[in-house]
């Protein structure tokens, strides 16, 4: 049952082929069998079985949605009432959330059954899941490789069949990159499309929650439940939510696809480029027109992102001071000692690095030289996308420059790790929606394990329905999204 889609499982629940309690127990057993993947930080077995029983009653009454009774999992960045919400950090290892994030509330309202909370890079800072206080989640395609980050646990859970679908968050590629590394579908919605209330902040102008699923059809179903205006979130946009499933089989004839020359040049692995070339040819067969475009400011995205994101992280994480909640050092001698040691002991190395970078960029002598300049470049990047999307309907690109790299391979070189987000960061700076879909398998060398390749599709603001249709049409003529890692079929 772990390789079925949301729609297939919903049909099975409605026809009484199995109950939600049976389905939930099946996934709980599977999680137990594959603990070595370290996908979960917390498994909420009792709560899940209680929710499944309620879901069965709701299905029997005829008052069910497609998500009612479906076992899902939440990235451990979303506050969940009465359940530990750690954000992958020692700082919040003892934090029990007193309320639900809006995303959690919406999925609960739809009747989804939460299996637990998923592993992630500490405070969503990372591209490999190696920054988690709870240890790295392991890529089921090759357990010596990283699953990507920061939503690594979410990608692993879906790819290995430890949840039907999962939530993720994307600040600079943290849904799309792990989705590509693990061979699943990951959607980063338009900034403001999904509420950030109760989602622990990293960089407030960049963070966005979204679905991680096996297919575009499943992503449409999940986004339907997650999207919408939230008065509790000042960055939420009051924009109509369409029926994302309704237009999934619309023709692609005449679709104009832009390929940025800056994304298909130096730095892109030949294996990735070959797989994407085949995928793009498939779109041509579906009637799409390919247009080469240039977006010169994309090369400035990484330094711009790390100035802005680090600055916002420095501000957001100042609330973790050892006073109100979270980790507190033992026997502080005074207030300064409490602050210093609580933060020094509670935060990991990468979080400290980004706080320091951000504090430096915001300091009086450097604000104009770094932060203000980065904001100006951000506008230029946004204008580049605006100009490109006036010529084409969508933009396609790689998600990652290489296949999933080995555990420990880049931990000693933060700059090399940051370059992993080369093709995803600009989209967050512009606030645009983008989806990563499986587009093949490739091996780095003779005898190496074939690993998933992701194709990124970028659209205009609030064009999620169009992206989902374009992804779905490709998945109707290919089966990459149905491939599962050996041993997890």
Share above pLDDT 90 across residues of the chain, in percent, rounded to a whole number = 93
Q: Does residue 79 sit within a domain? A: yes
- The answer to whether 150 is a known catalytic residue is yes
CATH number, domain of 12, equals 3.90.1300.10
Residue range 411-439, pLDDT digits in tens: 888 888 888 899 999 999 999 999 999 99
Tell me how many domains the chain contains. Answer: 1
- How far is residue 156 CA from its own chain's centroid? 11
- Mean pLDDT, the chain, rounded, equals 95
Task: Quote the pLDDT of residue 445.
Answer: 61
Cα-trace Rg, the chain? 21
Judge whether 133 and 349 are in contact, CB under 8 Å: no
Q: Using pLDDT thresholds of 50, 70 and 90, give the confidence band for residue 332.
A: very high
Q: Is residue 220 pLDDT above 80, yes or no?
A: yes
Place of tokens 């939530």: 167
H or E stretch covering 226: helix 216-226
Q: Does residue 75 sit within a domain? A: yes
290 vs 266, which has greater pLDDT? 290
Mean pLDDT of 314-336: 93
Task: Quote the pLDDT of residue 356.
Answer: 95
Q: Does residue 378 sit within a domain? A: no
Task: Quote the pLDDT of residue 416.
Answer: 85
Exactly one of 75, 106, 117, 138 is catalytic; name it: 75
Q: Does residue 125 sit within a domain? A: yes
Mean pLDDT of 247-261: 96
Whole-model pTM: value is: 0.95
- The answer to whether 250 is a known catalytic residue is no
Nearest Cα residue to 97 out of 125, 77, 111: 77
Ranges 178-182, 260-264, 460-464: which has the least confidence: 260-264
H or E stretch covering 466: helix 464-477
Exactly one of 20, 86, 128, 150 is catalytic; name it: 150
Task: Quote the pLDDT of residue 447.
Answer: 58
Task: Quote the pLDDT of residue 489.
Answer: 82
Task: Quote the pLDDT of residue 324.
Answer: 87
Task: Quote the pLDDT of residue 227.
Answer: 98
Q: Does residue 170 sit within a domain? A: yes
Task: Quote the pLDDT of residue 412.
Answer: 86
Q: Does residue 274 sit within a domain? A: no
Exactly one of 86, 132, 154, 174 is catalytic; name it: 174
Distance CA 346, CA 90 (A): 5
Task: Quote the pLDDT of residue 120.
Answer: 98
Residue range 90-142, pLDDT digits in tens: 999 999 999 999 999 999 999 999 999 999 999 999 999 999 999 999 999 99
Q: Does residue 163 sit within a domain? A: yes
Q: Is residue 446 pLDDT above 60, yes or no?
A: no
**What range does the domain containing 70 cover?**
6-255+390-482
Q: Does residue 381 sit within a domain? A: no
């Amino acid at each position: 049952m772990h390789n079925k889609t949301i729609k297939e499982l919903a049909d099975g629940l409605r026809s009484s082929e199995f109950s939600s309690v049976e389905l939930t127990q099946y996934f709980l057993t599977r999680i137990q069998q594959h603990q070595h993947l370290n996908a979960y930080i917390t498994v909420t077995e009792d709560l899940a079985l209680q929710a499944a029983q309620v879901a069965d009653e709701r299905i029997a009454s005829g008052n069910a949605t497609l998500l009612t009774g479906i076992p899902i999992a939440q990235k451990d960045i979303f506050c969940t009432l009465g359940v530990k919400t750690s954000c992958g950090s020692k700082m919040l290892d003892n934090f029990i959330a007193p309320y639900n994030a809006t995303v959690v509330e919406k999925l609960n309202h739809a009747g989804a059954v939460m299996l637990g909370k998923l592993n992630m890079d500490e405070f969503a800072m990372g591209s490999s899941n190696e920054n988690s206080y709870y240890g790295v989640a392991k890529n089921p395609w090759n357990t010596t490789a990283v699953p990507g980050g920061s939503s690594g646990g979410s990608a692993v859970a879906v790819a290995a069949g430890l949840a039907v679908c999962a939530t993720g968050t994307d600040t600079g590629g943290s849904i799309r990159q792990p989705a590509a590394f693990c061979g699943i579908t990951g959607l980063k919605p338009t900034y403001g499309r999904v509420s950030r209330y109760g989602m622990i902040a990293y960089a407030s102008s960049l963070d966005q929650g979204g679905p991680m699923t096996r297919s575009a059809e499943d992503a449409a179903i999940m986004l339907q439940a997650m999207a919408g205006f939230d008065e509790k979130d000042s960055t939420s946009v009051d924009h109509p939510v369409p029926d994302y499933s309704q237009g999934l089989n619309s023709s692609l004839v005449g679709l104009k696809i832009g390929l940025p020359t800056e994304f298909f040049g130096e730095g892109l692995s030949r294996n990735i480029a070959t797989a994407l070339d085949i995928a793009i040819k498939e779109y041509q067969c579906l009637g799409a027109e390919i247009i080469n475009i240039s977006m010169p400011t994309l090369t400035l995205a990484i330094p711009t992102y790390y100035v802005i994101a680090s600055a916002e992280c420095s501000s957001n994480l100042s609330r973790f001071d050892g006073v109100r909640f979270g980790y507190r050092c033992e026997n502080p001698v005074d207030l300064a000692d409490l602050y210093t040691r609580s933060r020094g002991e509670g935060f990991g190395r990468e979080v400290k690095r980004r706080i320091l970078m951000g504090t430096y960029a915001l300091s009086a002598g450097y604000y104009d030289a770094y932060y203000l300049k980065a904001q100006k470049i951000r506008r230029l990047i946004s204008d580049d996308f605006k100009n490109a999307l006036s010529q084409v309907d969508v933009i396609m690109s790689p998600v990652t420059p290489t296949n999933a790299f080995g555990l420990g391979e880049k931990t000693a070189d933060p700059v090399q790790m940051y370059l992993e987000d080369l093709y995803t960061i600009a989209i967050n700076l512009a606030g645009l929606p983008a989806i990563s879909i499986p587009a093949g398998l490739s091996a780095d060398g003779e005898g190496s394990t074939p690993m998933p390749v992701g194709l990124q599709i970028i659209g205009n603001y609030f064009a999620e329905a169009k992206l989902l249709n374009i992804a779905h049409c490709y998945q109707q003529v290919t089966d990459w999204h149905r491939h599962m890692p050996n041993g997890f079929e």
